[in-house]
Amino acid sequence: METIQTEGPGQPRGAKEYGLVVLKGIAMGAADVVPGVSGGTIAFISGIYQELLLSIRSINLASARLLFQRGPKAFWQAVNGNFLLALVSGIAFSILSLAKLFKYLLEFHPIEVWSFFFGLIVASTVYVAKTVSRWDAPKLLAGLAGAALAYWITIATPTQTPDALWFVGLSGAIAICAMILPGISGSFILLLMGKYIYVLTALTELNLPVIFVFIAGAAIGLLSFSHLLSWLLQRFHDLTVAVLAGFMLGSLNKVWPWKRVVETFTDRHGHVQPLVEANVLPGQYAGDPALLWAIGLSLFGFGLIFALEAIADRIKKNQA
């Protein structure tokens, strides 16, 4: 098989490997649709996180000059275009195709969905924490600070905000920064900003002005934030990873499967939506707690992460 070469931040790949990148993008898109689950978590555990940051970071003035000086091919190689195209294609396909499915599942099977992601995030936290070379007091404090910040975000009260396009763009810019942080859900940030249902509805109804403005805002936020995060990982890798692991740990409060609605609001369509929810034990849940399904799906999500880790390690050994 012919290997596609790249001069950018990525590694040479063949067609099958790019197909795998598309699948990782699909998984990231599926995670980003769910409030409380981060696509950045999927990128981290699937081994493409740093390449993603470096690839986004390479879209700058230097690569733009290459476009005019040496042509589109040089620019495409400099920004790791094949990797980004494969990943974004998977993410876009997943979000557009799974938006209705996840909307249905979260409405009619919330306990099962949250249980799966709870197990997924617990295992992901363990996996990310293992990448720190040595835990000491500063890294432990950094992890606790990250956990506290993520927990505070999960208990913040969502607000009702304007539907104007400028605010949609601003929401996209802020949410995308969270989407590439493991443990911080961009969808949940949208929920806090009162734009989750609005954007999800725009996707399902193909409201193109809203979709394009949201994507433009997300692109601006992504290009800005990725530079900072990439620099932190290069200069302070273990400390940054400790904070990211803390983010993931603190986000578990949001994905606890059993909740009681404390406060509601009426959206612009006249539908009553939950605004504030409190976690409860399965025995205190007002309804069928689906305990066996919850335990089974949580264990499945937990085991899936370590199965993926084992597969990735085997692939690395075969390549070596």
**Residue pLDDT, tens place only, 34-52:** 665 677 777 877 778 888 8
Tell whether the model's pLDDT for residue 26 goes beyond 80: yes
- Give the whole-angstrom CA distance, residue 133 versus residue 180: 22
> What is the mean pLDDT of the segment spanning 229-247?
86
- For all residues of the chain together, what is the average pLDDT? 81
pTM of the model as a whole: 0.67
The percentage of residues in the chain with a pLDDT greater than 70, rounded to a whole number, is: 85
Per the structure block, which two tokens stand in for 280?
């409860």
Per the structure block, which two tokens stand in for 73?
């091919």
34-38, 51-55, 197-201 — which is least confidently predicted?
34-38
Residue 201: the pLDDT is 82
Residue 268: the pLDDT is 59
Residue 139: the pLDDT is 94
- Give the whole-angstrom CA distance, residue 252 versus residue 160: 24
> What is the mean pLDDT of the segment spanning 202-222?
88
28-37, 41-50, 59-68, 168-177 — which is least confidently predicted?
28-37
Per the structure block, which two tokens stand in for 62?
């230097």
- Give the whole-angstrom CA distance, residue 34 versus residue 185: 8
Residue 8: the pLDDT is 47
Give the SS3 label for residue 207: coil
Tell whether the model's pLDDT for residue 4 goes beyond 50: no
Per the structure block, which two tokens stand in for 208?
């193109």
Beta bridge partners of 261: 277
> What is the mean pLDDT of the segment spanning 222-250?
84
Tell whether the model's pLDDT for residue 181 goes beyond 80: no
**With bands split at pLDDT 50, 70 and 90, how would you rate the model's confidence at 13?**
confident
Tell whether the model's pLDDT for residue 1 goes beyond 60: no
Look up residue 70 and give its DSSP letter: T
The bridge status of strand 259-266 relative to strand 272-279 is antiparallel
> What is the mean pLDDT of the segment spanning 235-243?
89
11-25, 36-50, 100-114 — which is least confidently predicted?
36-50
Beta bridge partners of 265: 273
Residue 291: the pLDDT is 94
Give the SS3 label for residue 143: helix
**Residue pLDDT, tens place only, 274-307:** 667 889 999 899 889 999 999 999 999 888 878 8
**Residue pLDDT, tens place only, 216-228:** 998 888 888 877 8
Tell whether the model's pLDDT for residue 142 goes beyond 90: yes
**Residue pLDDT, tens place only, 118-135:** 888 888 788 778 888 899
270: left (phi over 0), alpha (psi -120 to 50) or beta: left
Element holding 8 (H helix, E strand): none
Tell whether the model's pLDDT for residue 261 goes beyond 50: yes
Q: Pick from 253, 278, 262: which is nearest to 114 by CA?
A: 253
